[in-house]
Structure 1
Amino acid sequence: MLIDLDLAKIRDSGPSGARHQTGTMQFMAVEVLRKTDHTYRHDLESFFYVLLWMCARQAWSNGFAGEQKPPKDSLLRKWEIGSLKYIADAKEGHMTVNSLERIMEEFPEALDVVKPLCFGLRTILFGDTARLVLGTPAGDPDQLYRPIIAAYDEAISKL
């Protein structure tokens, strides 16, 4: 399970009741780290960070490395050390196309197949411009859910 359900709540029922920042910093959305109200979009962004983390960090010890050696240092270290503001700034910077490419250079070669999915998710979540688009779009949540599910479906169909 990827989500801690201790503070789960019914949709549209107001705040969760948490009296402090909750979650694992490495996977928290940029705006949540900046103390913006948590929305479904932030959950989708968090799943994206879990995917990147699993590919760049965890996959090395889970049999995907083959003969390759893991990188000695990881850009993702900046997602776990420092203040919430520092981590938010690091993540925002890492979501540019160039920085995302550098993160994906940390993937074992066996996971090259996941890179197009990562680029697609990045575009869906942050837009296709140099300046990242943050914030939850108004209206139906399916406007984000549908393209994300489609991106995963496309990646799975190519396996």
Structure 2
Amino acid sequence: MRVTFLEKLHPLSELTDPREYAQVFYDILQIHQWLYECAGILHRDLSSGNIMYRRIDGKVYGVLNDFDLSSRVGDMNNSPTSKQRTGTRPFMSLDLLDPDWAGGHLYRHDLESLFYIILCLACRYEAPGVPAPEPRPYSQWFSGSDEEICNNKYKFLTSPFGLINGLPIQSYFAGFQRWLRKIYDQLRGGYIRRPSCAKKLSTSNEESEESGDEDLEFSQSDNDLNFDWNTLNRHVSYARMRSVMSSFKGKSLETRWAGKTEF
């Protein structure tokens, strides 16, 4: 006879405090980084259903679940399954939805997925487990073809008018405004400076200032040959995400692991 003991984990919808949501999301970022840098594992399927939490002595701890589509980083170029585009479509990165993308699954794609998870929670729910009234924001990401979702996300991330009215964050999740705007600016800053976008979009310093990204300075265009695709030229990295997510509403969250990356 074999007996299996399973730990009880809780879904995000059971949280009742925005700060606890923030701690769980920050934990997921740290877990993802540890898996990538120390264990050599890339999850490749971040979604709201794969993020859970446990509560110990009154504190919440984020849990990253479901590694069915994960890959070893060292095998990414050799395993056929590692080259497949994976993810849950509403939360998939723009690149992985683009049929012309041939750069494989990068760790920043999972960080982009984490952004979409937080964004959809904050904008599509009035409170935990309570959907916002129809029409709910970003519903087009949950239906349609990969190409249609890709086009919608491309406009969202690159249009100079994309956030003219701000993000439609529900009042319960208003504390995530800073997180979401900062991470949006990081993603936008990287995507509009990709060599493939150079002829379509301006990369002036003035536009960078208008977008709210004050952390980096840029020349008129990034050098195509030296462009770092792994981090969209250092716009999207663990360190930059940590700089945003390590605090919530002006108060520090718990850092479980400091990480190894330099930028």
TM-score, normalization: structure 2? 0.48
Q: Deviations over 1:46-103 (max 9, x none)?
A: 110011111112x32517x7xxx93320231110111111101101212246434657
- Could you tell me which of 120, 124, 137 is aligned with 1:75? 137
Q: Which has the higher contact order (CA 8 A, sep 6+)?
A: 1
Structure 1: distance between partners of 2:67 and 2:176: 28
2:58 is aligned to none
Q: Give the residue type in structure 2 aligned to 1:25.
A: R
TM-score, normalization: structure 1? 0.75
Q: 1:11 to 1:157 in 2, by over 3 A?
A: farther
Q: Deviations over 1:4-53 (max 9, x none)?
A: 41121211322553385432110000000114311011111111001111
**Unpaired runs of 5+ in structure 2?**
1-49, 52-64, 195-228, 253-263
- Could you tell me which of 99, 112, 115 is aligned with 1:48? 115
**Unpaired runs of 5+ in structure 1?**
none
2:244 is aligned to 151
Preserved CA contact (<8 Å) 2:127 2:172: no
Preserved CA contact (<8 Å) 1:39 1:136: yes
Structure 2: distance between partners of 1:62 and 1:26: 19
Q: Give the residue type in structure 2 aligned to 1:137.
A: T
SS at match of 1:60: strand
Larger helix fraction of residues: 1
Percent identity for Structure 1 against Structure 2: 23
Structure 1: distance between partners of 2:107 and 2:76: 13
How many residue pairs are counted as aligned between the two chains? 150
SS at match of 1:75: coil
SS at match of 1:89: helix
